[in-house]
């Protein structure tokens, strides 16, 4: 950064703007660090942003809106009911820098910890994640939230003697029926797998 002489008021102002921008970039970096050292304020920011989704994204169940940089919904930055100024500034800087999830350093563990619903890296049509009988079962009965949860469920379809029949008697289907009350384990396993398969290879 080139510092202007003190008496050049205009330049001073530019420095302040640049400095403020640099501070916001620092915030953005902590906000987008998804490891264990993620600051508490970032978790709070996630919640605030989840409550301010764009009208087009209201179909994305609020309970599964976690982070708009990891999922395919956006928080409102313009107009009534939009984000507060600090978060708005952060989102604008992220847009300006073109933050994309591919660029974020996300460890394999952190990838498993990412929300599977509306995963930003999913190549599927977003409808794959919209509310319907099977998706509701995955959310409410199987408590499937994360990529890691989906991996566990999808793996059950590889159980010995598992069939795609609704009344499959394999151990995975029987256990799943008992544990979660799911009436169609195979459909749920298959859907979890479809969601996983829709993620770019880098993600899981």
Chosen residue from 28, 168, 192, 203 binding Zn ion by CB under 5 A: 168
DSSP state of 4: P
Residues recorded for the chain: 204
C-beta of 69: minimal distance to Zn ion in Å?
A: 29
188 near Zn ion, judged by CB under 5 A:
yes
Binding status of residue 203 toward Zn ion by CB under 5 A: no
User: Contact between 173 and Zn ion (CB under 5 A)?
Assistant: yes
Q: Which of 75, 106, 154, 170 binds Zn ion (CB under 5 A)?
A: 170
Q: Pick the binder of Zn ion from 52, 65, 112, 162 (CB under 5 A).
A: 162
Please identify, using beta-carbon distances, which residue of 112 and 162 lies nearer to Zn ion.
162
Closer Cβ to Zn ion, 145 or 203, answer by number: 145
Residues 118-147 that bind Zn ion (CB under 5 A): 137
According to the binding rule CB under 5 A, does residue 87 interact with Zn ion?
Answer: no
Chain centroid to Cα 201, Å, comes to: 17
User: In angstroms, what is the minimal distance from the CB of 136 to Zn ion?
Assistant: 9
Nearer to Zn ion, 31 or 129 (CB): 129
Looking at 21-29, 88-96, 99-107, 164-172, which segment touches Zn ion (CB under 5 A)?
A: 164-172
Measured CA to CA, the distance from residue 190 to residue 28 in angstroms comes to 37
Point out which residues bind Zn ion (CB under 5 A). Answer: 137, 162, 168, 170, 173, 182, 188
């Amino acid at each position: 950064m080139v510092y202007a002489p003190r008496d050049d008021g205009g330049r001073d102002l530019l420095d302040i703007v640049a400095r403020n921008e640099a501070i916001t970039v620092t915030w953005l970096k902590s906000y987008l660090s998804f490891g264990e050292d993620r600051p508490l304020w970032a978790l709070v920011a996630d919640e605030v942003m989840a409550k301010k989704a764009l009208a087009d994204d209201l179909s994305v169940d609020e309970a599964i809106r976690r982070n708009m940089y990891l999922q395919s919904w956006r928080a409102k930055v313009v107009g009534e009911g939009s984000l507060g100024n600090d978060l708005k500034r952060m989102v604008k800087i992220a847009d300006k820098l073109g933050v994309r999830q591919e660029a974020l350093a996300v460890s394999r563990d952190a990838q498993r910890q990412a929300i599977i619903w509306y995963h930003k890296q999913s190549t599927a049509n977003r409808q794959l994640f919209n509310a319907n009988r099977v998706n509701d079962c995955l959310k409410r009965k199987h408590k499937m939230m994360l990529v890691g949860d989906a991996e566990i469920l999808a793996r059950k379809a590889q159980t010995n003697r598992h069939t795609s029949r609704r009344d499959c008697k394999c151990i995975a289907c029987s256990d799943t029926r008992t544990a979660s009350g799911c009436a169609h384990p195979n459909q749920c396993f298959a859907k979890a797998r479809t969601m996983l398969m829709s993620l770019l290879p880098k993600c899981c």
